[in-house]
Structure 1
């Protein structure tokens, strides 16, 4: 993946140096002289990261950072001639992920850019992994692999058993009617009796003896989360 970086800086010399170093590292770079121009780019072709000067004509970097943070968690590196601690704290509190004081080494900037992208990739990967897994008490389900574990031991389940377990696990403590379960597990084109639901629940209870799969009398079933 080739990352796109927006550099908001009105000093031509810094623009040229930063752009040259970033392009050498394989990044796409858009140079912008003002926060207003950067906002236009944000709405048309948003970059994957902002490198943002504080002292800008018109809207300053702090205000731009705040506006971006209201819409996105995109990484932001602030660069500024202001080296007072209060300025750094303000920049980070407004949503900056990193702060570099001018003059700075272009090599240090590119190193921080790469480190920040690596951190973002790691978080994204962890989110993907977590979205693939569902856990309710002792029940642990890998959605993509369609595998079910109970107390850490993998269990053999049928397709319908898996689908029902996943539905309950993704909606703990919610009561489902038999009609709902028929539609969600068997599909809305199923014309059999709702006894199929009772039979499937019975089979699941037999395999997972201590699973808190409760009967809601006169209605249906729910998986109670004990934790």
Structure 2
């Protein structure tokens, strides 16, 4: 499956060079030129990697890194001309997976990108294998065999309902927009029809929540989307 990368860089020449090279290497690339645009993209899409320049307008790269890290565990490479031990320590301390200083060779850059994605993919796969059965409060979810019990009682979910639940429980506390849910579960472009998402979320809540009108697990973030707590 083609890996999707968010490239955040305000220098047009560098942005185009990196975009073209990564596209040639077989990656899907979305670009942003400032911190606010980067965060908006993270709400609207699911990425396999973020390449983040530090010195960008509106919100600098370290602020963006911190906000992304609060919402998701996707790998991030810091890219900056500020090549000092302090900057490296700060960037990596906030949760960056790697740091590359400008100027850089595209050969080295591509190798770093592939290495970070490879490590993240391997870790994610191992983590999922280790957690084939998740126990969250009174829910027991077997994400491999597509089964779920609540207080020992079997719960019947449709394949789409279980896929949504699996997306949530394997990314707990991460916020998903309706567009992200639709694109991930239905594998199709989202044209703003919220009804199908609303119906599936409502049915899922009716089956797993003690009080669906006051959900404990699937929380609504009005105007943004949903996240799973517990």
Which bin holds the TM-score, normalised by the shorter protein?
Answer: 0.5 to 0.7
**What residue in structure 2 maps to residue 129 of structure 1?**
129
Q: Which has the larger radius of gyration?
A: 1
CA distance in 2 between partners of 1:91 and 1:72 (Å): 16
TM-score by length of 2: 0.58
Partner of 1:3: 3
Q: In structure 2, what is the Cα distance between the partners aligned to 1:70 and 1:129?
A: 24
1:70 matched to which residue of 2?
70
Give the equivalent residue in structure 1 for 2:103: 103
Which residue of structure 2 aligns with residue 173 of structure 1? none
Task: Name the structure 2 match of 1:152.
Answer: none
Instruction: Give a deviation string over 1:43-86, Cα, whole Å, max 9, x none.
Output: 11232211000011121001000000000111100000101100
Tell me how far apart the structure 1 counterparts of residues 131 and 46 of structure 2 sit (CA, whole Å): 26
Aligned residues: 148
Q: Where do 5+ consecutive residues of structure 2 fail to align?
A: 135-142, 155-230
TM-score between both structures, scaled by the size of structure 1: 0.58
Let me know the Cα RMSD of the aligned residues: 2.9
SS at match of 1:52: strand
Alpha-carbon displacement from aligned partner over 1:8-65 (angstroms, at most 9, x marks no partner): 1011110111011100111011111101111111111232211000011121001000
Give the 4+ runs in structure 1 shifted more than 4 A: none
Partner SS for 2:16: helix
Aligned partners of 1:54 and 1:78 also within 8 Å? yes
C-alpha separation between the residues in 2 aligned to 1:37 and 1:120?
A: 24
